[in-house]
Amino acid sequence: MSEFLTRQHFELARQRAQPHIRRTPVLTSATLSDLSGANVVLKAEIFQKAGSYKVRGPLNVLAQMDPAARNRGLICSSAGNHAQGVAHAARVYNVPAVVVMSTRARKAKIEATRAYGAEVILHGEIWDDAHAKSLEIMRERNLTYVHPFDDPVLIAGQGGVGLELIEDAPDLDVVLVPIGGGGLISGCAMAIKSINPRVRIIGVEAAGAPGMKRSVEAGHVVTLEKVGPMIDGLVVRRVGEYPLHVCRHFVDDIVLVEETAIFDAVVWLMERCKLVAEGAAAAPVAALMGNLVRFRAGEKVACVLSGGNLDLAEIKGRAWN
């Protein structure tokens, strides 16, 4: 595989995954457009199978995996959505899967992962803790590991989001993408710019876990000593090596959004757009509403709503100020 992925990589990955995923819609948002001054569209991966874009990458990985390695069984670590993606892909290929999730993983995501047939093990407080445990179990049980973000083959699958977006909205000027470990923005940035290199790609990170922004500034992966927000999907201490390499070349800017603004955006999307987006998915909307992104009036701006696996019990228990 070349240093960076090409349009052909994304096209082939999409073909492999296509029988098992949905082509999610690109929705216009007059309300967000009026509020921001941009022409806003939303790539609604909230309607994807398993509730998020995360199903795309594992399907591409398993399609190309050595059958002997695949049949040994899979293992992954996840904040929640990668767990469901791997579990769904494992069911497609009729192989067993073990998923290690942090103890802070949302109940809804845990139950959904088990419903796909995966064994779920809870360990640690954030993804990094679960990741360490999953590697230990991998060695003990001789399982095959599926990384959630630091794998070009997986990223080729995730990039299908960007490929579909630029095909359905070819006149885009700016795309806002949430960043956790960096897999989604890496795939989207390369896929979109393989078709239109003039599109500006803006990453959105939680202010309390700015791993990619700090790593880009430092020129190498920076391990955060501690992370603040507890929005699963945005919280890692260490982003991927390959995603950082891609972001340094293809991502135009990274903005940081406070946790309260993200949760406000979750509620706003439900109230005003009738869309259920989880915290990570709402981060681009929060950045747009908070005027953190520069664009010219009337430019076409897309927000990637990466997933809709929202735990409503969390909303009920949170004081919204």
Catalytic residue numbers read: 54, 306
* Burial of 73: CB neighbours in 10 Å, binned 0-12, 13-18, 19+: middle
Q: Report DSSP letters for 118-150, one per residue.
A: -EEEE-SSSHHHHHHHHHHHHHHHT-EE--SSS
What DSSP element (H or E) covers 216?
Answer: helix 211-218
Q: How many degrees, rounded to 5, is the angle at CA 226 between CA 221 and CA 231?
A: 95
Q: Could you please report the per-residue DSSP string of 52-111? A: BGGGHHHHHHHHHS-HHHHHT-EEEEESSHHHHHHHHHHHHTT--EEEEE-TTS-HHHHH
Q: Which helix (H) or strand (E) holds 44?
A: strand 39-44
The one-letter amino acid code at 92 reads V
Radius of gyration in angstroms for the set of CA atoms belonging to the chain, rounded to a whole number = 18
Helix (H, G, I), strand (E, B) or coil at 301: strand
Within 10 angstroms of residue 23's Cβ, the number of other Cβ atoms is: 13
Residue 141, both tokens: 């049980």
Pull the structure tokens for residue 307: 């997933």
Distances in Å between the Cα of 67 and the Cα atoms of 62, 144, 257, 260 are 9, 11, 42, 45
